[in-house]
Structure 1
């Protein structure tokens, strides 16, 4: 069955529009139309730090390098890390309304506007990175990209944060019982809230920029984030444990305002898509090459790393089944059933 037939109309009613601006440093792409061969400047935002191992930063940096190289500097890309262009919802809505050019997004936030993307956010949907990448890179991932048509935002490619691991202040997490009653910061998305609810967690939504202070003050007991993000954003000073639970897989859509994208020539549109694809490769390679050294460095800084082998994955998968049932009507049963078939969960 063709994806367009299977998934047609899933998006209806999923758009949210806002006049929120992305911030004073960003804005609409400046310069003349690149179709005329003149210069153009794009701004790309993300919420994490400008660290060479941070996947959001590396996605934006490699994208910038490739675009500027392939256009001889005719298209310039300026990076704005650390929420300079606003929170992720602000950047998404800014791309819709014309106040933000581009952003490296967290897929879970995108799913708040386009529920079908939540199929990639289901807890424990992927058994390993190889499986997750094959789904994201295949027809299913392309169907999700196509499904964004009409939202005002175009996805150029899915970059990668990796599996979001738990990071906790004082408690090692190996079983669902270890999580029960803890206050865990999470993104305010239906899938994440449902998954944590099934695990008995006191889920506490808050913006990324508020997290470190909340952990320091004990407002929350922990959070979830990719290893590379935990490594590059100051968590060893606050938390004692990284728990390799592999709770969620986190794709990072590299997005551009559809108005900006449609104003480009076909050749320049292809350059941007190719640059995004090269950024994805760079991020995945970096994540794979440095995962062990990141864990070793974090351990040297005093953190305890709970390896995946010590986590009761089967108990976690069983505990989150209510999330799948609850999300079926929100994400769409066709999307959920298709991804379950791709990963062998229906066998």
Structure 2
């Protein structure tokens, strides 16, 4: 080997070592602390909500080199959504996933996303949630002690009950239907002729088993994962409200994070969102088939009957639209129209 070749080898080796050293120093220099993040959810780990939470936990761990660990508490073990939201505001729980509908008591504008029969399909929902209206709603969270990261999916809510199938609007008359602690949901079900019974989700199965309520309204995946087929005979495909899920963190927790840690959590939330939406949509029809296998009788509803239901709840929509305010409602409707035009 010539002296020149030997020198060139030394220089190349030194440069390679320098680059490796710089990369290692960069990783070590990232401002990431050992952190344990509690993330309670009301559903089980095999529910789309649980799968989204698990994906988020895995990505946070991978991106932080195992320093930031997300511990999931499924099945409402830390309480219902209202309790968890309060715990997040107080800083004793770091993160959670829940429907924006659960937060209407503190931010009235979130009711916009619950307008009955607003979203014709998931594509429209994605367009609105990931656009300026979705961001405008999330921007209201920090003043209430929460930070929104991304919108995932729970799905379309339909009614189950233990008494009869719902083929027409009159079949809802007199049924005691559990719903969430949200005034619009209560008004909507009452307008359709039901007796709405607001109740935390962890109490629901027992209430249906004891016949304290006749039924409830949730997507197929929730009914399957929670084994509602054990205490409910009928499920009618009303698809009356589309429910997103929101991945949230406590503002007290968020404010204590470094810029590097915030980026890890934000990036993980987007990756988890895209994965969770895909999985939720794949699981929807699978869950329907599983419910049927377990003996639940599922029926679709004629378009004319669904239109009657839409007309019946229109005064409820108008009531809450007035509370939200005309500018935001118009912006919401304009985004929906854009989504429909884009799909043509």
Per-residue deviation at 1:35? 6.9
Counterparts of 1:68 and 1:308 in 2: how far apart (Å)? Answer: 45
Per-residue deviation at 1:310? 6.3
User: What's 1:13 paired with?
Assistant: none
User: What's 2:276 paired with?
Assistant: 283
Number of aligned residue pairs: 311
Which is richer in helix?
2
CA shift in 2, pair 1:293/1:83, >3 Å:
closer
User: What's 1:206 paired with?
Assistant: 199
Q: Secondary structure at the match of 1:147?
A: coil
Q: Secondary structure at the match of 1:150?
A: helix
CA contact (8 A) 2:221 2:288 kept: no
CA shift in 2, pair 1:209/1:37, >3 Å:
closer
Counterparts of 2:55 and 2:32 in 1: how far apart (Å)? Answer: 23
User: What's 2:90 paired with?
Assistant: 97
CA contact (8 A) 1:98 1:259 kept: yes
Per-residue deviation at 1:39? 0.9
Residue of structure 2 aligned with 1:224, choices 184, 197, 217: 217
Counterparts of 1:35 and 1:222 in 2: how far apart (Å)? Answer: 51
Divergent runs of 4+, >4 A? 308-311
Counterparts of 1:311 and 1:182 in 2: how far apart (Å)? Answer: 22
Counterparts of 2:31 and 2:132 in 1: how far apart (Å)? Answer: 34
Residue of structure 1 aligned with 2:37, choices 39, 42, 50: 42
User: What's 1:171 paired with?
Assistant: 164
User: What's 2:318 paired with?
Assistant: 325
Q: Secondary structure at the match of 2:139?
A: helix
Residue of structure 1 aligned with 2:58, choices 60, 65, 68: 65
Q: Which moved more, 1:329-338 or 1:98-107?
A: 329-338
Question: Which digits, 9 at most, give the CA deviation of each residue in 1:48-74, with x for residues without a partner?
Answer: 223x2x122112111100000111101
CA shift in 2, pair 1:130/1:309, >3 Å:
farther
CA shift in 2, pair 1:35/1:91, >3 Å:
farther
TM-score norm. by structure 1 comes to: 0.85
Residue pairs, 1:61-210, within 5 angstroms: 61-210=54-203
Question: Which digits, 9 at most, give the CA deviation of each residue in 1:212-236, with x for residues without a partner?
Answer: 1111121111101121111111111
CA shift in 2, pair 1:161/1:89, >3 Å:
same
CA shift in 2, pair 1:335/1:308, >3 Å:
farther
CA shift in 2, pair 1:158/1:311, >3 Å:
farther
CA contact (8 A) 1:35 1:264 kept: no
> Does 2:290 match 1:302?
no
Per-residue deviation at 1:309? 5.1
Per-residue deviation at 1:36? 4.2
Per-residue deviation at 1:337? 2.8
User: What's 1:268 paired with?
Assistant: 261
Alignment root-mean-square deviation, CA? 2.0
Larger Rg: 2
Mark the runs of 5 or more structure 2 residues left unpaired by the alignment: 1-28
Counterparts of 1:94 and 1:38 in 2: how far apart (Å)? Answer: 23
Q: Secondary structure at the match of 1:312?
A: helix
Q: Secondary structure at the match of 1:119?
A: helix
CA shift in 2, pair 1:99/1:344, >3 Å:
same
Counterparts of 2:104 and 2:71 in 1: how far apart (Å)? Answer: 26
TM-score norm. by structure 2 comes to: 0.86
Mark the runs of 5 or more structure 1 residues left unpaired by the alignment: 1-33
CA shift in 2, pair 1:245/1:237, >3 Å:
same
Residue pairs, 1:233-244, within 5 angstroms: 233-244=226-237
User: What's 1:5 paired with?
Assistant: none
Per-residue deviation at 1:334? 2.7
Question: Which digits, 9 at most, give the CA deviation of each residue in 1:94-135, with x for residues without a partner?
Answer: 111122111111221111211111100111111111111211
